[in-house]
Structures are given as structure tokens and as C-alpha cells.
């Protein structure tokens, strides 16, 4: 950040003075910040950067958007808390600003980019580090994610959002629409760690957890950098799943009509998600491809055959608790169908 930024944004300090006996006393300083006047486009050199980690906070409603004030507050906090000052002038920071993003290096070998993308529906965080400094990146991403979430909770808590990690194979920048990349919900990541599963699965294949969270200790889930430093107990859905054992009610093929009724008729689960659901239930990709081919891509028929294969315990279904309401609720949670998962738990999985 150079001095011209101050002129463009009217960023300056005001003394806060209070009247006391004997005169006026200087109590402190506060900052005025008007980055709405900053209209610079993303610098061209940004598009040549290579990143190793990507995370985003995505609005889940098409009618929800991060307001301009959100980025104004977030960018100021990040610049002043994390970007390095130039010499002894704390108003000058070693960072690059543009109208919807900022980028900086720290002195621990880490590069960070934060940008509002997807028509203001997503906050994107991307990071990379020099070889041998990945521990520093883990620490810094905890702080950056924590700041992103803190400003969200303060300035626009009514927005419906979800936290996602971008598959490391799909980090080519710019990332203008993260939801079009392969992403994993934080719940999926935590659940995989809890169950000691080394891979996360998507419709494009599988990715090792160690690739998504390189050089991070997975033994202490409560200290995971993706939590942004917050207490895991604040993530209510995760807390209940991790703390409360569920009564396992086993299912088999005779229960197909009940399962179909509960999911598609009573809860209106769209049939087109059958592939993602099947993967999380333990069906292999070749099995799902055969189902699709057998039914000529008809989503309703594919859904029914997918659930039949699950209820018969095909592939590695038995390794995922077998066909039960509990394992079904877990799979629904993983594909972000949390309301239906909660319904299943409340109805069929009372706490022990």
C-alpha cells in the first residue's frame, strides 16, 4: 500500500479528544476508511500466481450477497493485522489493493490473496508458501479464516453461507466462481478426520486429506486451521455429530420403499443428487457409472437403483456402518443436505 492509496480512500487518523479539568486530553486514535472510492481492477500480475491452498465462504442463497461494507472492514483489518508496515509508518503497508481484493506477503515465507468473487456471493482465500515454510502457512490460514468469519458474524450474520475447501488440483487462478470447482465442505473434512479416512471423495475422484491440508496435524481436530481458531463447539451440527453416539437401526432391501418415501416424498430430496449421495454411502464410481448407463441417465431411476445397491451392502457400504438411518444421515450431512439429515436423526436415531 503506498501513500496514493490514502488519497484515493480518504484513509486518515483522527485524534479522539475528551474534555477534562485543566484542558483537553488526547485519549487515542481511530481510523476512517472509505475504500468504496478505490476502483482499481485486479493487477495483471496476480493472474500469474500459483497457489497451494484455497478456501471460500460461499453464500448458499442466490439472493444473498456480501455487502460492500463487509469487504471494506475485512480488508482494513487484514491489512493492519497481517501485512507488514513499511519502515516506521504504520499507514503504509506492503500489500496490494484493488476494488474487490488484496494480496500480501508476510516475513515467514507465505503469500495470501483475499478476494470477493462470484458476483459478491463468495469470499475467496488463497495461499502459498516457500518450500519448507508450510507450518507458517497453516498458522496464518487459521488467522485469516478466523478474521473472515469474525467480520462475517459482525457485519452480515443473516447471510446463509457454507465454508468450503477447494480441491488442490483445481487452484488455477483466477478463481472467479469457486462453486464451479471441486470443493469439500468443512463438515466432510472433519468427518473424514474423525473416521480416520485418508481420502475425500467427489464425483471427479478422490483426493488425499494430506493434499488438502498439507503439513497439518490431523490428530487434534479441535485445533484444525479450517476452524479459524474458534471453538469446535461453536459449530453446532458438527458438535452433536461428534459428541452424541447414534443408535444404529440396520436397514436392508425390504426397506427400499420407506427410504424412498422419507427422502423424496416427505423431504423432497432431488433425485439428481443420487451420484454424490451414492459415493458418500460407500458405492464405488464404476458401480455408479453402471447405474447411470443402465438407466440412460434417468435421475429418478438412477436414484432408486443407487439406494437399492446401498441397501444390499454393495462395494464398501459395510465399511461405512452398513445400511442404516445413522449412516444415511451422515452421508446427507456430507453432501450439505443438513436439514434432511437432522430430520432422519430426530425420527430414527435417538441419542443413547
Of 9, 130, 18, 23, the C-alpha closest to 71 is 9
The gap from C-alpha 323 to its chain's centroid, in whole angstroms, comes to 29
Query: What pLDDT sits at residue 266?
Result: 86
Query: What pLDDT sits at residue 246?
Result: 38
The set of cell numbers assigned to 193 is 478426520
Average pLDDT over residues 109-135: 93
Of 192, 183, 311, the C-alpha closest to 241 is 192
In the chain, domain spans: 3-32, 36-234, 244-348
Of 130, 123, 72, the C-alpha closest to 99 is 72
Handedness of CA 101, 105, 106, 111 (dihedral sign): positive
Tell me the per-residue pLDDT of 17-37, one tens digit each, with 9 for 90 and over.
Answer: 444 455 444 444 444 455 555
The set of cell numbers assigned to 194 is 474423525
Tell me the per-residue pLDDT of 150-171, one tens digit each, with 9 for 90 and over.
Answer: 999 999 999 999 999 999 999 9
Report which of residues 41 and 239 the model is more confident about. Answer: 41
**CB contact burial 166-180 (16+ within 10 A = b; e otherwise):** bbbeebebebeebee
Tell me the per-residue pLDDT of 47-67, one tens digit each, with 9 for 90 and over.
Answer: 888 999 999 999 999 999 999
Using CA atoms, how far residue 202 sits from 32, 61, 68, 180, 280, in Å, is: 45, 22, 33, 13, 9
CATH of domain 244-348: 1.10.533.10
The set of cell numbers assigned to 190 is 472433519
Which are the contacts of 23, defined by CB distance < 8 A and separation ≥ 6? none
Q: Cell numbers 464405488 label which residue?
A: 284
Tell me the per-residue pLDDT of 282-300, one tens digit each, with 9 for 90 and over.
Answer: 999 999 999 999 999 999 9
* Summary mean pLDDT of the chain: 82
Strands (E), the chain: 12-20, 23-32, 53-59, 85-86, 89-93, 95-98, 101-105, 110-117, 122-129, 161-166, 183-185, 199-202, 205-208
Query: What pLDDT sits at residue 310?
Result: 94
Rounded distance between C-alpha atoms, residue 36 and residue 180, angstroms: 28
Query: What pLDDT sits at residue 236?
Result: 40
Tell me the per-residue pLDDT of 173-227, one tens digit each, with 9 for 90 and over.
Answer: 999 999 999 999 888 888 888 777 888 888 788 888 888 887 787 767 778 899 8
The gap from C-alpha 232 to its chain's centroid, in whole angstroms, comes to 15
Count other C-beta atoms under 10 Å from residue 112's C-beta.
25
Average pLDDT over residues 316-336: 88
Query: What pLDDT sits at residue 188?
Result: 84
The HSE-up count of residue 148 (CA atoms within 13 Å, CB side) is 29
Query: What pLDDT sits at residue 11?
Result: 43
Average pLDDT over residues 122-139: 91
Query: What pLDDT sits at residue 20?
Result: 47
Count other C-beta atoms under 10 Å from residue 302's C-beta.
22
Average pLDDT over residues 310-335: 88
Which are the contacts of 122, defined by CB distance < 8 A and separation ≥ 6? 56, 57, 58, 59, 66, 116, 177, 178, 179
Q: Domain 36-234 is of which CATH architecture?
A: 2-Layer Sandwich (3.30)
Query: What pLDDT sits at residue 318?
Result: 83
Amino acid at each position: 500500500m503506498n501513500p496514493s492509496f490514502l488519497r484515493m480512500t480518504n484513509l486518515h487518523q483522527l485524534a479522539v479528544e475528551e474534555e477534562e479539568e485543566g484542558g483537553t486530553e488526547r485519549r487515542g486514535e481511530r481510523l476512517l476508511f472509505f475504500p468504496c472510492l478505490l476502483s482499481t481492477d485486479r493487477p495483471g500480475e496476480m493472474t500469474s500466481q500459483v497457489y497451494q491452498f484455497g478456501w471460500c465462504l460461499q453464500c448458499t442463497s442466490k439472493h444473498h450477497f456480501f455487502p460492500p461494507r463487509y469487504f471494506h472492514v475485512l480488508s482494513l483489518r487484514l491489512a493492519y493485522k497481517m501485512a507488514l508496515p513499511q519502515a516506521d509508518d504504520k499507514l503504509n503497508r506492503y500489500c496490494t489493493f484493488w476494488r474487490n481484493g488484496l494480496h500480501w506477503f508476510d516475513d515467514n515465507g507465505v503469500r495470501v490473496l483475499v478476494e470477493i468473487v462470484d458476483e459478491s456471493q463468495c469470499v475467496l482465500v488463497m495461499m502459498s508458501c516457500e518450500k519448507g515454510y508450510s507450518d507458517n502457512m497453516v498458522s496464518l490460514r487459521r488467522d485469516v479464516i478466523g478474521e473472515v468469519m469474525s467480520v462475517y458474524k459482525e457485519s452480515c450474520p443473516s447471510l446463509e453461507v457454507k465454508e468450503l475447501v477447494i480441491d488442490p488440483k483445481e487452484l488455477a487462478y483466477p478463481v472467479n466462481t469457486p462453486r464451479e470447482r471441486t470443493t469439500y465442505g468443512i463438515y466432510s473434512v472433519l468427518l473424514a478426520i474423525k473416521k480416520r479416512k485418508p481420502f475425500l471423495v467427489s464425483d471427479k475422484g478422490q483426493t488425499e486429506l494430506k493434499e488438502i491440508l498439507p503439513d497439518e496435524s490431523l490428530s487434534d481436530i479441535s485445533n484444525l486451521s479450517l476452524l479459524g481458531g474458534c471453538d469446535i463447539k461453536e459449530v453446532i451440527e458438527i458438535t452433536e455429530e461428534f459428541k452424541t453416539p447414534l443408535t444404529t437401526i440396520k436397514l436392508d432391501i425390504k426397506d427400499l420403499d420407506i427410504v424412498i418415501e422419507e427422502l423424496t416424498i416427505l423431504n423432497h430430496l432431488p433425485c439428481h443428487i443420487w451420484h454424490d449421495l451414492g459415493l458418500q454411502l460407500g458405492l464405488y464410481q464404476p458401480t455408479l457409472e453402471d447405474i447411470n448407463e443402465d438407466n440412460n441417465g434417468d435421475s429418478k431411476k438412477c436414484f432408486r437403483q443407487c439406494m437399492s445397491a446401498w441397501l444390499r451392502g454393495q462395494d464398501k457400504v459395510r465399511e461405512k456402518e452398513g445400511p442404516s438411518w445413522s449412516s444415511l444421515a451422515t452421508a446427507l450431512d456430507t453432501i450439505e443436505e443438513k436439514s434432511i439429515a437432522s430430520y432422519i436423526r430426530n425420527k430414527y436415531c435417538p441419542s443413547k
